[in-house]
Amino acid sequence: MKPAAAPSPLPGRRSVAISTFVRSFSSRARLLFVLSLAFPPICAWSQTQLATVSGTITDPSGAVVPGVSVTIVSQGTGLKRSAPTDTAGEYRFAGLPTGNYSLRIERTGFQPQIREGVELTSAAEVMINSQLAIGDLSQQATVSANIAEIDSTTSTIDELLPEQSLTELPLDNRSV
């Protein structure tokens, strides 16, 4: 014969504690659900709408040049960011909004360079390497052209399509 289960010392309190836990959990779950709806679009926007520009600066012999002042300016909004190259001669500007930019590269003892027409598209990773020419500050080299967007970090091929071409794509369930 099985022994009878011992009665709970506080039978009413146990069920109250469980129902309180369930109620508080459901309100926490609701809060997490609402937050999960609010924040992923923000995170997704920051990952898809912003671009990155990076590169390496070298001298005429091909040696990297640390401490070069690199400035990028948005032609549309006037957004301006500056950063020096690191000890490997590299610079990086992450989180740039899409648009048309100019890039200024300068260091004492070298001719300043300006790259205009740097077009950044959604989620682009543009690499702009530059070789500085020896000279004084009165000389300046300006390159005016659309710089081809080459993402050397991945093998992905992507392209922006106009909305009209997307709406004209044939679909199985679309009436003709």
The mean pLDDT values, 10 residues at a time, for the chain of 176 residues are 54 57 60 65 59 94 95 93 95 93 93 91 90 73 55 61 66 63
- The enclosing H or E element of 125 equals strand 125-127
The count of domains in the chain is 2
Asked, for residue 110, whether it belongs to a domain, the answer is: yes
pLDDT at residue number 135: 79
Residue 129 near residue 104, CB atoms below 8 Å:
no
Read off the DSSP letter of residue 29.
H
pLDDT at residue number 104: 95
Tokens of 176: 């003709």
Asked, for residue 29, whether it belongs to a domain, the answer is: yes
In whole angstroms, what is the distance from residue 119 CA to residue 134 CA?
A: 28
Beta carbons within 10 angstroms of residue 107's beta carbon: 19
Q: Kindly report whether the global pTM for this prediction surpasses the value 0.75.
A: no
Could you tell me if 41 and 65 lie in one domain?
no
Nearby residues of 86 by Cβ (< 8 Å), 6 or more positions away: 66
